[in-house]
Amino acid sequence: MAVAYLSEVFSSIQGEGMDAGTRAVFLRFAGCNLACSYCDTPAAGTRLDAFPVQDDAGRTEIGNPVECSELIDIVARGFECRGLAVLTGGEPLLQISALSHVINGLKEKGFRTYLETNGTLPEAMREVRAIVDFVSMDIKLPAGQKGRDLGREHRRFLEAIEEGRGAVKIVIPGEASEGEVLAAVRLVADVRPALPVFLQPVFRRAKPEVVGERLLHLQRAALTLLRDVRISVQMHKILGMR
């Protein structure tokens, strides 16, 4: 019997990346192995006794841990939008056994599965790469990790994902240097050059920390190393959604 610790389940639009604007159900897994300075879901770092499900009928509380089969039924019953299921966190790959069950179960119910990950757990990624439909991997810059360089972990993670079913998001805090951003771009160019890369400024109080000419400059520099580099914003935050 596989069980999962969740932090919340709700419906919204996918606010960023390849599927920006698509209606989706979000399954936020509890627990994270990082502590990013700009984390916008710090509550998801902790496993609580229960988690809220905000579905089409209203709000209910479900006890943690929840059986994966029950979680799949809750999502399949409660949400009309049968398109995209976003598996996010926290860090979903920390609960690899539960995540595999949930991906398989949601696919059987007709959902397309979209994994959002911090890109640091390559062994777990290998266990689900054949079943998940799409992987959005973050590259975390040292500026958001108190100077810690996660380049080695990210390199091994890139090796574990497939081109054609994924994308990379480089999250850029205001204090990040151009050198850090380009080191991340170079890493992708070195390991998985066909992956689309999104340059996404950190949002604080609904405002991006990097704007205008600086973003254009970073994109221009990145495009000398990679073919597909896009600028992304967290649309849901601008629109006042979750």
Please report whether residue 142 would count as binding ligand SF4 according to CB under 6 A: no
We find the least distance from the C-beta atom of residue 211 to ligand SF4, in angstroms, to be 20
Q: Which residue's CB is nearer to ligand SF4, number 39 or number 215?
A: 39
Q: How far apart are CA 174 and CA 233, in angstroms?
A: 14
Q: How far apart are CA 232 and CA 235, in angstroms?
A: 8
We find the least distance from the C-beta atom of residue 222 to ligand SF4, in angstroms, to be 22
Q: Residues 28-47: x/- map of binding to ligand SF4 (CB under 6 A)?
A: ----x-xxx--x-x--x---
Which CA distances in Å does 92 have to 26, 122, 174, 204, 232? 12, 12, 27, 24, 22
Residue numbers 101-130 binding ligand SF4 by CB under 6 A: 118
The phi and psi torsions of 188 (rounded to 5 degrees) equal -65, -45
| Interface region with ligand SF4, contact rule CB under 6 A, candidates 10-18, 27-35, 67-75, 218-226 | 27-35
Q: Which of 89, 173, 196, 201 binds ligand SF4 (CB under 6 A)?
A: 89
Q: How far apart are CA 168 and CA 158, in angstroms?
A: 9
Please report whether residue 160 would count as binding ligand SF4 according to CB under 6 A: no
Helix H, strand E, coil C: the string for 145-173 is: CCCCCCHHHHHHHHHHCCCCCEEEEEEEC
Q: Which residue's CB is nearer to ligand SF4, number 41 or number 100?
A: 41
